[in-house]
Amino acid sequence: MVRGLQPLLGAERTEDATLLVSELVTNAVKYGSGPVELHVEADEDRRGRFTISDAGGGGEPALRETGGSTSGGYGLHLVDRIADEWGIRHASMHVWFELSY
């Protein structure tokens, strides 16, 4: 689905979007509840906004300490490092990120 955005985003930003969507959808499935939805918007300022939502209930998403023997905990670190902006909205649970293209 995200790959279909390559003509708009370009190859590099499409790879970034694919990685971040994968991480956030995985988190929503693993820690959230209810259906998981992905919404993608593009604006006239050449920014794409990706919002992943679920019904909540999985606790507050947060940047966790990484390293040691932990096999996870890197998803939001990737979002923080790659996305131009990102945030959380708590209507249910919405995590969004933006990429300039």
Q: What is the mean pLDDT of the chain?
A: 85
Specify whether the CB–CB gap between 94 and 52 falls below 8 A: yes
| Topology annotation, domain 2-100 | Heat Shock Protein 90 (3.30.565)
- Using pLDDT thresholds of 50, 70 and 90, give the confidence band for residue 49: very high
Where along the chain do its domains lie? 2-100
Identify the pLDDT of residue 70: 57
Specify whether the CB–CB gap between 55 and 93 falls below 8 A: yes
Which percentage of the chain shows pLDDT scores above 90?
A: 50
- Average pLDDT of the segment spanning 67-83: 78
Per-residue pLDDT tens over the stretch 11-33: 999 999 999 999 999 999 988 89
Identify the pLDDT of residue 59: 62
Check: pTM over 0.75? Answer yes or no: yes
